[in-house]
Amino acid sequence: MITAIRDHGIGRIIHFAAFLGEEVQRRPYSGVRLNLMGTVNVLEAARLEEIPRVVFPSSSTVYLGSLGEGGPKKIDETIPLSPLSVYAATKAGSEFLGRTYAQRFGFEFIVVRFAALYGPSPAGLKATREQAIQAMVRSAIKGEAASIKWPYGPSELLYGKDAAKGTVLACLKDKFKDNIFHIGSGEMATGEQIVAALTKHFPKAKITLLKGERPMPYPEERIPNDQSRAREQLGYQPDYLLEKALGDYAETLRKIESI
């Protein structure tokens, strides 16, 4: 990593590398080793090479244990971290490591906490929710009937292009007050709403949602994240709400898979 920094004249780092939620639940030792030690490797490289800013994509799952009945009605960046899964614990732990390194060694550690991420990829992101959405889009493109497991309640979804936009803003913008930001869409969506939005692009789509056991120990009911801090300090606004995102998703997946 240090060689890459020197060879390419790297001035700031965005640390994306990680195992995702269900993968960490299935392989906790490997997930913890990669997610936490990967973060330490990045932080050490930043310290040794005097990199002024590291941006860390985290997850809104880091405080789901603080929500639920009697919990806050608004999710801002000040809610105490309370992870409910090994994956969320690795994200929370990485946030603490980054914050401590930054304070001790004098560089910026900026956290962008994503809502539930989705978007096209050659193999599908290693997350059950995203795999289900990709299966919906693929079946709609092909005009094939599909029955897809969807055990999730309403969730705030974040399209990949908006995640990239928020992350780049956090990396390149010169001055802002805080160092933790929510990046999301601001809209909640159920599985039925995803199907309905997809049907607007593909009226002949026939998608049946099946109930099943939730793969992660997260609350079924959630509320959207407050993004006022990202909006005011980074200038972030989502470009891809659900219907537009699914149209772009389908167009991109067609190109990736030559459908």
Residue 212: predicted pLDDT: 75
- Global pTM exceeds 0.85: yes
CATH code for the domain in which residue 78 is found: 3.40.50.720
How many angstroms separate the CA atoms of 191 and 119, rounded? 15
Strand partners, 55: 14, 110
User: Hey, which bits of 5-93 come out as E strands?
Assistant: 12-14, 53-59
| Burial call 199-219: b when 16+ CB within 10 Å, e when fewer | eebbeebebebeeeeebbebe
Q: Which residue segment(s) compose the domain that 137 sits in?
A: 2-257
Chain-centre distance for alpha carbon 131: 14
Residue 217: predicted pLDDT: 61
**Token pair for residue 104?**
């001790």
Residue 220: predicted pLDDT: 61
Per-residue pLDDT tens listing for the chain (259 residues)? 999 999 999 999 999 999 988 889 889 999 999 999 999 999 999 999 999 999 999 999 998 888 766 667 778 999 999 999 999 999 999 999 999 999 999 999 999 999 999 999 866 555 688 889 999 999 999 999 999 999 888 999 999 999 999 999 999 999 899 999 999 999 999 999 999 999 999 999 999 999 877 766 666 667 889 999 999 999 999 999 999 999 999 999 999 888 8
Residue 156: predicted pLDDT: 94
Residue 175: predicted pLDDT: 87
How many angstroms separate the CA atoms of 146 and 126, rounded? 20
Cβ-Cβ contacts under 8 Å for 92 (sequence gap 6 or more):
58, 62, 81, 83
Are 120 and 256 contacting, i.e. CB atoms less than 8 angstroms apart?
yes
Residue 49: predicted pLDDT: 98
Count: domains in the chain = 1
3-state secondary structure of 112: strand
